Chains A and B, each alone.
Chain A
């Protein structure tokens, strides 16, 4: 029997971070939260989540830099989905080399669909 899927949410906006973690928690995911890329990398020393939901614009370490370092250190150990307000989300996602993207603002259904789809990729792939 497999444990509950593990998601790491990285966002410098405390309210949005709380919204996403609460939502996923209520859906039965195991959720960790970090307020920037550096904090997220620290958390990742112990355990690799199935999915990382990553904000783009953050102080200390932004999404681009985080992805670069994560890939260097852990390769594709976790899938990464960008949660972004950028107008050209698709383009940035491609440029950074992440697995998917979710545009802000989003419906909770869209959030849950995206997470479920990505986690399935991990579990089935």
Chain B
């Protein structure tokens, strides 16, 4: 059986002249199928249609889109099938959900009026246009044909204006759903299509549908590629922006993944660790321990569980934790404040942590210099004060026949020296809070013994004011810095004496409680209270009582000088011990100051066996 090839360029729509010829293939091998040949042999209509279908498949295969080759293909099919008109309709849904159909492409034979611009063939309803019957078959994937005189009235009304005497419609199924149809009209005779012809037309429909599906997939793929490219570009641009921002800010930034490996570090981070490039810092957390000793502000080593980014990998946000870093390579000590936060995906799952650190070394060093200055100055004041005080007292002791006025003057010198000493004590107290890198020198101390010592010292200063101490026989040992706790006791008891000028007992009470106040509500505590029956603190002043340099009794008869830092310093010291400090006070009735220090389980068992002094 002969196989036909198409040669030459087919007409496009609107061109009335066709230059298509069909040629039987020559049996000799090597001969060009497109070469000149003998006169065309007649072929059956179905065979000609199948040849056009093969052309169509090759045309669509070699082209990226249906659009580019559809006109050629329709012309080829139209010529081969000797149809008056070949067209393609595409289904679409109206906003109300109704199914509509629009003509997309058309080829017309010589002398046939084109319908491509017919407005009735755009967004037409199947039922309304008379194609309700056709729709049923097409939607089910079946070919539908009609010819006069078998047209229904509706079909006739639809066909007559286009002079159609017969038509055959082949459904186009794309991705297993009904996409539209290709149709073949005859305007000359009510043509009857043979089964072979109809099979060939179905094959044409199949090729076209496949081409539409391929084209659609290609354009979908292209769209995805374009989208991906634009996302990638946007992400790249955003990444570049962030990288520029992160490398230009002074603070150090790290990003860790769930394995505690640093996946990003900026210039600030490499500055802190004295590395040349941020990339040198892309390493697991544990390797950082070889770069530097990581300690808290008091110089205690920090465990993995305390390190902010590791805490954030567990979900915690850490704000401004003070850290000391001792960089091994350069032997430099640095102070940083580090914050960190978990990084979560859209579902809230943590997949990393970010840490930001500010280098506060300069500020800390400046603070230390200032504290050192204060300490040295205060220290140097002590000897001259001792000389003033001592000679005033010596003259008072030894001079005979001093007049009362002379005696008063010498006593004023002695008191003046005492006031200087009080200021010196205050200065030392404040500077001690942060002395030596905020380090508390803690030991197990017996608070009752400490209170006895402090009360003894104050008794020398105020021999007329006894202080009562009430403490359990076995007072628990607390881990604390004895000098600083002594300062607190001294400040509180001294205040109690000073602000109860009319006398009345000053009572110091020491007790252990099963749970503490505020942050100590889950811990056993030792509580110390210092009560007086003095002037009390006016309500309006109570809020500010712990502020530095605030003196509630300035310019009142109870003003005893000092810098107003005793309570401020005491609160700082108690807080550094993880304790709580507060007071209760009523004007005219007196004040009670309390502080609590946490007791570990161990402390409970090892109570003091030492005697009271």
Mark A residues whose CB is within 8 Å of B.
Answer: 13, 15-16, 19-20, 22-23, 26, 85-88, 91, 104-108, 110-111
Contact = CB atoms under 8 A, between A and B. Distances in A.
B499 to A, nearest CB: 23
B397 A104 contact: no
A86 B379 contact: yes
B398 interface: yes
B432 interface: yes
Contacts of A105: 382-383, 385-386, 388-390, 417, 421
Q: Top 9 A-B pairs ranked by shortest CB distance?
A: A85-B382, A105-B386, A104-B386, A104-B382, A19-B390, A105-B385, A108-B393, A15-B387, A105-B389
B49 to A, nearest CB: 111
Greatest chain A CB density within 10 A among B380, B388, B393, B421 is at B393
Contacts of B379: 85-87
A91 B436 CA distance: 16
Contact of A106 (B390, B428, B432): B390
Given A87-B375, A87-B428, A108 B390 contact: yes
Given A86-B379, A104-B382, A108-B394, A16 B387 contact: yes
Interface in B383-415: 383, 385-391, 393-394, 397-398
Contact of B394 (A19, A85, A104): A19
B390 A23 contact: yes
Interface majority SS (helix, strand, loop, mixed), chain B: helix
A87 B387 CA distance: 18
A104 B385 contact: yes
Given A87-B375, A88-B483, A23 B394 contact: yes
Most buried by B among A87, A91, A106, A107: A87
B383 A107 contact: no
A44 to B, nearest CB: 24
B415 to A, nearest CB: 12
A87 B432 contact: yes
A87 B376 CA distance: 11
Contacts of A107: 389, 393, 460
A7 B175 CA distance: 115
Contacts, number: 57
A22 B397 CA distance: 12
A108 B391 CA distance: 9
Contacts of A13: 383, 387
A68 B388 CA distance: 32
A87 B490 CA distance: 14
A86 B435 CA distance: 14
B376 to A, nearest CB: 11
A88 B436 CA distance: 14
Contact of A22 (B388, B394, B460, B483): B394
17 contacts: A13-B383, A13-B387, A15-B387, A16-B383, A19-B387, A19-B391, A20-B390, A22-B394, A87-B375, A87-B483, A88-B483, A104-B386, A105-B385, A105-B386, A105-B421, A108-B394, A110-B460
Contacts of A88: 483
Nearest to B378: A87
Contacts of B389: 105-107
B378 to A, nearest CB: 8
Contacts of B394: 19, 22-23, 26, 108
A106 B390 CA distance: 7
Given A85-B382, A105-B390, A107-B389, 14 more contacts: A13-B383, A16-B390, A19-B386, A19-B387, A22-B394, A23-B390, A26-B394, A85-B380, A87-B375, A87-B483, A104-B385, A106-B390, A108-B393, A108-B397
A13 B379 CA distance: 14
A86 B379 CA distance: 7
A44 B375 CA distance: 34
Interface in B516-538: none
A87 to B, nearest CB: 5
Nearest to A88: B483
A74 to B, nearest CB: 28
A111 B397 CA distance: 14
Contact of A26 (B380, B398, B421, B432): B398
Contacts of A111: 390
Contacts of B483: 87-88, 91
Contacts of B385: 104-105
B25 to A, nearest CB: 114
A91 B483 CA distance: 9
Nearest to B389: A105
Contacts of A15: 387
A88, A107, A110: residue with the most chain B Cβ atoms closer than 10 Å: A107
Nearest to A13: B383
A21 to B, nearest CB: 11
Contacts of B432: 87
A16 B393 contact: no
Contacts of A106: 386, 389-390
Interface string B339-376: 00000000000000000000000000000000000010
A75 B389 CA distance: 35
A86 B375 CA distance: 10
Contacts of B421: 105
A16 B386 contact: yes
A105 B393 CA distance: 12
